[in-house]
Amino acid sequence: MRVAIIGAGPSGLVTLKYLLAAKDALGVEPVEARVFESESGVGGTFLARTYEDAELVSSRQLTSFSDFRFNSDEPDFVSAKRYLQYLNDYCTHFKLWPHITLSCPVKSVQSRKEGGHLVTYSLRGQQHVWECDAVAVCSGLHVEPDIPHIEGIERVPVVLHSSQLKRRDQFGVGKTVLILGSGETGADISVLAATSPTERVVICHRDGFHFSPKRNPNPKLIFTRQRSSLDRPQVPIDVSRASLFDTAYVHPWLRNSNALWMYYDCYVRWILWISWGTTDGIDQWIGGKPRGWSTSEIFFNKSGYKLSPYIDASWKAKAPQGVLDRIRSWIVRTPNTEETRQGRQVDVAPWPERIDETGAVVFRETDRPEYARMKKESIKPDVVVFCTGYTHHYPFLGDHRHDPGYYEGKLVRKIWLRDDPTLGFIGFVRPNLGAIPPLTEFQAQLWVLNLLAPSRVASPLLPGDESHYQLMRTSHARIRYGVDHESYAYQLALDVGSAPSFADVLRIGYASGNGGWYKLPLTWALSANFNTKFRLLGPWKWDGAANVMNTEMWDTVARRQMFFGHFTLSVVPMLIFGPMSCIVFLYASLYNFVWSIFRILAMERWEHGNNPESSSLLS
What letter represents residue 157's amino acid?
Answer: P
Name the residue among 510, 396, 67 with its Cα closest to residue 502: 510
Lowest mean pLDDT among 212-226, 401-415, 456-470: 212-226
Is it the case that residue 317 has pLDDT exceeding 80?
no
β-pair type (220-221, 332-333): antiparallel
Lowest mean pLDDT among 2-6, 290-294, 326-330: 290-294
Task: Kindly state the greatest CA–CA separation across the chain.
Answer: 100
Q: Report whether 388 contacts 159 (CB < 8 A).
A: no
Question: How far, in Å, CA of 567 to CA of 68, rounded?
Answer: 31
Q: Report whether 426 contacts 443 (CB < 8 A).
A: yes
What is the side-by-side strand order in the sheet with 2-6?
Answer: 100-101, 32-36, 2-6, 134-138, 420-426, 416-417, 411-412
Overall residue count recorded for the chain in this entry: 619
Residue 269 has φ and ψ, to the nearest 5°, of -65, -40
Q: How many CB atoms lie within 10 A of CB 90?
A: 19
Q: Assign 516 to helix, strand or coil.
A: helix
Q: Classify residue 315 by its DSSP letter.
A: G
pLDDT at 341: 65
Calculate mean pLDDT across residues 447-475.
89
**Exposed, middle or buried, 181 (CB in 10 Å: 0-12/13-18/19+)?**
buried
Is it the case that residue 223 has pLDDT exceeding 60?
no
pLDDT at 517: 92
Report CA 361 to chain centroid distance, whole Å.
Answer: 34
β-pair type (134-138, 420-426): parallel
Task: Label residue 298 by pLDDT band (50, 70, 90).
Answer: confident
Lowest mean pLDDT among 136-140, 281-285, 464-468: 136-140
Is it the case that residue 583 has pLDDT exceeding 50?
yes
Domain spans of the chain, in order of start: 2-143+390-497, 235-258+500-619
Q: Report whether 486 contacts 435 (CB < 8 A).
A: no
Calculate mean pLDDT across residues 389-407.
84
Q: Which helix (H) or strand (E) holds 521?
A: helix 516-526
pLDDT in tens, 593-603: 888 888 888 88
Residue 494 has φ and ψ, to the nearest 5°, of -60, -45
pLDDT in tens, 489-518: 999 999 999 999 999 999 999 999 888 899
Cβ neighbours for 293, distance < 8 A, ≥ 6 positions apart: 208, 210
Is it the case that residue 228 has pLDDT exceeding 50?
no
Q: Is 208 left (phi over 0), alpha (psi -120 to 50) or beta?
A: left
Q: Which CATH architecture has domain 2-143+390-497?
A: 3-Layer(bba) Sandwich (3.50)
Q: Report whether 42 contacts 88 (CB < 8 A).
A: yes
Helices (DSSP H) in 384-484: which residue ranges?
436-452
pLDDT at 269: 87
**Exposed, middle or buried, 62 (CB in 10 Å: 0-12/13-18/19+)?**
buried
pLDDT at 333: 67
Highest mean pLDDT among 244-248, 285-289, 361-365, 433-437: 361-365
Calculate mean pLDDT across residues 105-130.
94
**Exposed, middle or buried, 139 (CB in 10 Å: 0-12/13-18/19+)?**
buried
pLDDT in tens, 246-267: 899 988 888 888 888 888 888 8
Query: Can you give 180-244 as a three-state secondary structure string?
Result: ECCCHHHHHHHHHHHCCCCCEEEEEECCCECECCCECCCCEECCCCCCCCCCCCCCEHHHCCCCE
Q: Report whether 134 contacts 448 (CB < 8 A).
A: no
pLDDT at 340: 54
Is it the case that residue 110 has pLDDT exceeding 80?
yes
Question: How far, in Å, CA of 51 to CA of 58, rounded?
Answer: 17
Q: Report whether 448 contacts 74 (CB < 8 A).
A: no
Is it the case that residue 346 has pLDDT exceeding 80?
yes
Question: How far, in Å, CA of 174 to CA of 377, rounded?
Answer: 18
pLDDT in tens, 32-79: 999 999 999 999 989 988 888 889 999 999 999 999 999 989 999 999
Task: Label residue 216 by pLDDT band (50, 70, 90).
Answer: confident
CA-based torsion, 593, 599, 603, 605: positive or negative: positive
Strand partners, 446: none
Task: Label residue 123 by pLDDT band (50, 70, 90).
Answer: very high
Is it the case that residue 339 has pLDDT exceeding 90?
no
pLDDT at 226: 47
Q: Assign 478 to helix, strand or coil.
A: coil
Q: Which helix (H) or strand (E) holds 47?
A: helix 45-48
Query: Can you give 9-43 as a three-state secondary structure string?
Result: CHHHHHHHHHHHHHHHHHCCCCCEEEEECCCCCCC
Residue 177 has φ and ψ, to the nearest 5°, of -115, 130
Is it the case that residue 225 has pLDDT exceeding 60?
no
pLDDT at 335: 58
